[in-house]
Each structure stands twice: as C-alpha cells, then as structure tokens.
Structure 1
Amino acid sequence: MTDTTTARKPPTSKNSEVHVKKRRLPDETGIFIVLVAVLLVFSILSPNFRTIDNGFTLLVNGTVIGFLALGQTFVLLTGGIDLSTGANIAMSGVLVALVMQAGVPWPAAMLIALIAATSLGVLNGLLIHYVRIPPFIATFSTQGVALAIPLIITGANSIQVRDIGFSWIGQGRIAGVPLPVLLLLVAAVIAGLWLRMTRQGVHVYALGGNKNAARLAGVNIARTTILVYAISGFCGGMGGMIVTSRLMVGFPATGTGNELFYSIAAAVVGGISLFGGVGTVLGAMIGAVLIAAVSNGMNVLSVQSYWQSLVIGVIILVGVSFDTLRRSRAGRPVFAKRPAVDTPSLPPSTTPSKS
C-alpha cells in the first residue's frame, strides 16, 4: 500500500522563483553605504563632526551643491551636460543684489534673478537643439558669458545687500530646520515625483535612453531639451539666491570654484549615467550629501582645502566601482539605457502585404 501519511512538498511556482531571483538591492545602495561609512569615519575622528550644529552646517553648505546636482540630474538624464551652473550662481547673485540696490523689494528682486537664471538655461536648450551645438560647447560658451556679465556690470566689485528680509532665504529657520534645507527637500521631492509619475518625466528618460526611438514614439524633443536646461538654470539661480542671502553680498566670483565639479560628481556618483536614461533624484541627493560631508569633515579636521578634490575623486571612484560591480553581478549592463518608450509599429491595416 501507498503510505498516505508521507508529507507532500508544497508545489513551487516557477513564477514565484523567477520573482525571487529578480529581487535586488536598490540602485542607490552602493552610494548610501559609502555615505554611511564616510559619516562614521569622520564621527570617530572628530567629536565635533557628530554634533547637531555641525550637522545643520553640513546640510546648509550642501544645499547649493544639492540644487546644482538636482539641475544637473535632469540634463544628464537626457545625455547632455551643463557647464554653466557655477557661472549662473554668480550672475543671479549679482543681479539680485543690483535689483535690490535699485530699490526693488527682495521678493520681486529674487523673482527677476530666477527668471534670468532660467533664461540662461533656456538659451542653452535653444542652442543645443536648434543650432545643433554640442551640449559641452554650448554650455561652456554660455558659462563664459554668464561669468563676464557680472564682472562687467560691477567692475569686479562686490554689491552689498542691505535688505535684511532677504537674509531669511539663506539664514532663516522653520521649526529649527534651516530654510535652504527645506527648500532643497521640497524641490527634490517634487522633481522625483515629476520624473516618476508624469508623461513629461518619462520623456526625459526616453530622450536619454534612445533619442531616435523617442522621436518616433512622439516625444517632443525640442520641448524636452529646452525644459531640462531651463530646470538646470533655475536650480543654478536658487544656488545663487542661497549663497548671496547667506553672505548678504553679491560677489561676481561666487560659484567659480569647485561648485561645477561637485555638482557633476554628486549626480554621477549618485548613479546618474553620463550616457543618459538611467538614474534617480534620490541617488543624486545622496551623492550631494556625500560630497558635502567630505568637505565639511575635512574642514572640521583642519585638512588643507586642496586635499578635498583628491579625496572626493577617490570616493567617486570607490562608489562608482561598487555600483558597477553590483550591476555586473546582477547581470545588467553597466551603462544600460532604459527602454522607457517603445518604438511604435505600423497598424496591421497599413502593413504592406507580399503579393
């Protein structure tokens, strides 16, 4: 007789096995682990680093890098690059100071400066799409223009900001949290949701993934290109507002240091592909916090500033290498392009028949 008491193994579903195999860590895991490791190392090396006050200082200093990295994210997702973001800080900062000096209230002056910063981004998009200038050359050229304008207008002199109300943008707090941090947080959340949940956000990924396929699928290439560079220009302007508000001085040389390098580094180390079509806002923001943490930690340890670029370069190498290794082990191409939009096919009725 057959033993009916023998326990039977529950049937396994092939679909469930495939589903389990497909589970993987989020793309931001590598850079997040590096960030945690950096924070732990600096906390051990310096008790001052792990204080709440220094934490707020780190975040406030990182907001400018964060805004630039946020704008750079949109551009890099389309396969472009924006080299004019640092110069946009100087141009918008001097402009807002000059407009306030002319007697315009600070909210209106700030609006005018942000419109000018966004216009610089629009100009980049127009040059790239309609004039067919490569993004590197177009934004490099507008960088020179944006750097020269404040120097010419001011004669290379700083402009004092006397409207005390403007200091709230860079120095104010809400419920104890610095306002610049809250502004960046709100902007990052809106940007992340917009990219993930809107048709235009899908178009951004599609343009970076495969421009020809995106065109055939009906993506408005001109509008998408101009839009991402306009967003980058706006983010550069926000960086200019925060810096000028914190210093209460419109300085023509602001933003001409490592800001551009840090913005690109934060986006790339956060998982944004230089080839376009891959990456998230969350990853770019983690990258921005990492760059700010390294800079702040080395300042707390009284390390010479010229060592920062070396250390940040090594961290970028480690973070990207970890992410590349994880992608290869998961069986994914390192620089895979996201097929966000499929190439449309002809309807059956219009398909030519063989006769």
Structure 2
Amino acid sequence: MKRKIPDEIGILAVLVLVGLILSLMSPEFFTASNLSTLLLNATVIALLSIGETFVLLTAGIDLSVGSGIALSGVLSALILEHHGSIWLSLIVAVISTLLMGLFNGLIIHYVKVPPFIVTFATMSVAASIPMIVTQANPIAITQESFGNIGSGYLLGVPVPVIILVVVAILAYILLAKTVVGMQIYAVGGNRESARLAGVNTARVDLLVYIVSGFTSGVCGIIDASRLMSGYPTAGSGNDLFFSIAAAVVGGVSLFGGIGSVGGALIGAVLIGTISDGLNILNVSSYWQPLVIGVIILIGVTFDTLRTSQRLNLSFWSVLSSRLKGRTQPLS
C-alpha cells in the first residue's frame, strides 16, 4: 500500500532551504539566541494563523484579528490597573474577542454580508474602542507576575511557545479528529452540499469565527505581557498581513476546504524566518512587506491553479463516468 505524502512536506522543504541559505549568508542566524527570538516573534503570527485557518477553511476571512490584539491587550491592562486581578484580566480580554468573533459569525451567516465587509467593519470598530478609552495613551502594567505570560520560561521553554503548542494541538484534534472538524471541511468544500447532508452550517460559521477571535485575544494578552503595557495601537502593523500569508503559504486554500493547522504553523515559521533573516542582513524594514507580498502572490497563484486543476479533474471524472454509464451493454 502506497503511503500518501503529507501536503506539508513541500512547504517544510522550503523552510529548511530558506534556513540553510540564511545560515550561510549570516553566521548569526543559526544561533540559539536568534532561534529563540525567532520562535518568540513567530508565536503571535502562528497563533493568528491558526484562527485564520479555521476561517479560511470555510472560504471566509477575518480581518479583525489585528484589532482584537489591541482590544484584548488594553482591556487586560485596564482590569489590572483598577482591580489588580490577573485572572480577571485574562478572562475579560479573551471574552471581548470571543464576542467579536461571535458577532462576525452571526452577521456573516444570518445577514449574509460577505466576510470581508463584516470583518473589515469589525476591525475598524475594535481598533477605535481602545483609542477612545485610553485617549491613545498606553496603559502601564505594574504587576510583574503578569509579565511571565509573555516573557517567562517553563522548564527552559518560553511560555508563549508552550501556549502555542497547546492551542495548536487542540486545534489539530478539533479539525482532524472530530465530526465538527469534518463539517468545517465539508462547508468549505461545498456549502450547499454540506447543508443538504445535514451539516449545521450556522454552528460551523459561528465556531470558526469564535476560534479566530479566541486566538486574537490570546495574542493580545501575550503582546501586553511582553510590553508590560496595553497599547491601543497594538496589532495595527503586519500581524494580520503575515497571519493570512502564513496560512495561505502553508497550504490553506482561500477557496475553502483545503489546509491544515500543521501547514499554517510551518508557514508562520517560514514568514518569521524570512523576516528575522532580513533583519539580520540589515535589509530595510520597508522591504519586508514587499517580500512577504510576493510570497503571498506566489502562494495564492499556486492555490488558484491547484483549485482549478481539482475542479477540472472533478468535471472530467464525472463526464467520463456518465459516458461509461451510457455505453454499458444492456443486460
């Protein structure tokens, strides 16, 4: 029996090749300190890419995750400032982005507004709330123990990396080992067929945007913990851009129904590796979006060609089966 080669092998080979090239170009790249920094910087992108993977698998998109980072980070800082409870700050921060994801899912499914429009509007609202509440001033965090979330270590492993691993494992189990995961792929592959087969598409739509909101909230907490401040402009940089790029480059289809958590994580590490390599080589930061943009274009092009090929093969297989059915001799 032939073993199916995992789809992630290709992007993993690209990651290894890029790492080898960068290590040859700069001896500073392949050092323990730099690799640790690379992993820490890639953690937020990787977490966001997991949330985007769920959404993209249903042929949707979530543009509000960057604003969710600012919203959750500022709320956690405000709770700490007024109440001092770390657990309460964590709960409030995550609930805020869960509600944001729930709102996105409700409007997209029941009102039938395109995901791009809904999440773009939510992005604007979620970005404005921290600015209004704080008057665009960062909120300092004085509880030192809160900093352990973003900067601490557990058994020598950075806490954010541990959080990423736990979230990734749970996401993998949900997508690959549960009925709900199968339904997510089914909705992305053919929504109408999935609905006729009895899939609760409303539950699927709500779930994927809630998961995306959850990862955004976790990233906001990590970001606030690392900076020891709730920044109202956090997440307004390349986080959204890079997270979608990571998922697409990792093999998650923009057309839905294809992709995996593993591929998105490898894509996130690849994006982080390229960004880190450009910094080490002293390439201007202005070039980074250009390079990542080219990578996205290549990834989307391959995704489009792959989807077109799959549709063409499906068409010809159906046509062939029907022709064979017509030419079968009568019994």
Asked whether the two chains share a fold, i.e. TM above 0.5, the reply is: yes
Residue 72 of structure 2: aligned partner? 92
Determine whether 1:260 maps to 2:237.
Answer: no
Select which of 142, 149, 173 maps to 1:169. 149
Residue 131 of structure 1: aligned partner? 111
Residue 71 of structure 1: aligned partner? 51
Determine whether 1:274 maps to 2:251.
Answer: no
Deviation at residue 335 of structure 1 after TM alignment: 9.6
Aligned to 1:333, the other structure's residue is in SS state helix
Is this contact kept in 1: 2:248–2:299, CA < 8 A? no
Residue 222 of structure 2: aligned partner? 242
Distance 2:135 2:43 in 1: 29
Determine whether 1:26 maps to 2:6.
Answer: yes
Paired letter, 1:80: G
Question: 1:163-206 deviations in whole A, cap 9, x for unaligned?
Answer: 11110110011111101011101111111111111111111111
Deviation at residue 50 of structure 1 after TM alignment: 0.6
Deviation at residue 242 of structure 1 after TM alignment: 0.8
Determine whether 1:305 maps to 2:282.
Answer: no
Distance 1:336 1:105 in 2: 57
Distance 2:84 2:303 in 1: 49
Paired letter, 1:310: L
Select which of 302, 307, 310 maps to 1:333. 310
Bigger share in helix = 2
Aligned to 2:257, the other structure's residue is in SS state coil
RMSD after superposition: 2.0
Question: 1:94-117 deviations in whole A, cap 9, x for unaligned?
Answer: 110011100231122111110111
Question: 1:243-281 deviations in whole A, cap 9, x for unaligned?
Answer: 110000111111001111101000000000001011010
The TM-score with structure 2 as length reference comes to 0.90
- The answer for unaligned runs of 5 or more in structure 1 is 1-18, 338-355
Is this contact kept in 2: 1:30–1:322, CA < 8 A? no
The TM-score with structure 1 as length reference comes to 0.84
Residue 140 of structure 2: aligned partner? 160
Distance 2:212 2:312 in 1: 23
Select which of 205, 215, 234 maps to 1:225. 205
Is this contact kept in 2: 1:70–1:284, CA < 8 A? yes
Residue 50 of structure 1: aligned partner? 30
Indicate the percent of aligned positions where both proteins have the same amino acid: 54
Deviation at residue 322 of structure 1 after TM alignment: 6.8
- The answer for unaligned runs of 5 or more in structure 2 is 315-331
Deviation at residue 298 of structure 1 after TM alignment: 1.1
Distance 1:273 1:104 in 2: 43
Is this contact kept in 2: 1:28–1:282, CA < 8 A? yes
Distance 2:184 2:132 in 1: 36
Question: 1:219-249 deviations in whole A, cap 9, x for unaligned?
Answer: 1111110111000000001110111100001
Distance 1:79 1:322 in 2: 16
Distance of aligned partners of 1:334 and 1:256 in 2 relative to their CA distance in 1, 3 Å threshold: farther
